[in-house]
Amino acid sequence: MNQVNINQQYPQGLTPQQMNRQFNKDYAEALATGDPRYQMKQLDRPGVSRGAAQMNQAGIKASQEVADGIAQAYGNQLQSQQYNANLGLQNQAQAEQFGQALQGLQSQANYANQMAAMQRQNALYGLIGNLIK
């Protein structure tokens, strides 16, 4: 019986810690954009004082950016999970192909061993037949 041990290196995906770290970062950045004061700075004009309309507009923009940022954070997390799943599937397919190829080689080796045994047996029978004659 043949035994083959090959250390195959398959591409590795993101670890759960890396995915959580990235999600937490994206989520925190999304929440940070929800501060109306940050949005107010973008609406400031030189020589014009801030008013309620600008504060309302900043609040609307802040809530939109929070919603978009949270959606983006969850979207990025989903893409990372999909990437990992696809890598796992590719790794399993490669392992299956390797196993099937190895099984084919094992079958060929067994067949060659059986044929060699038959040749030895025929040679022995031929020798015994020649001695009896």
Tokens of 72: 């983006």
From the list 90, 83, 107, 72, the residue with the least C-alpha distance to 2 is: 107
pLDDT at 82: 92
Contact 26, 69 (CB under 8 A): yes
Written as tens digits, the pLDDT of the chain (133 aa) is 556 565 556 567 788 888 899 999 999 999 998 888 888 877 777 777 778 888 888 889 999 999 999 999 999 999 999 998 998 888 888 888 888 888 888 899 899 999 999 999 988 888 787 777 6
pLDDT at 36: 86
Instruction: Write the pLDDT tens digit of every residue in 98-130.
Output: 888 888 888 998 999 999 999 999 888 887 877
Contact 94, 8 (CB under 8 A): yes
pLDDT at 11: 64
Detail the DSSP E strand segments found in the chain. none
From the list 74, 70, 69, the residue with the least C-alpha distance to 19 is: 74
pLDDT at 78: 94
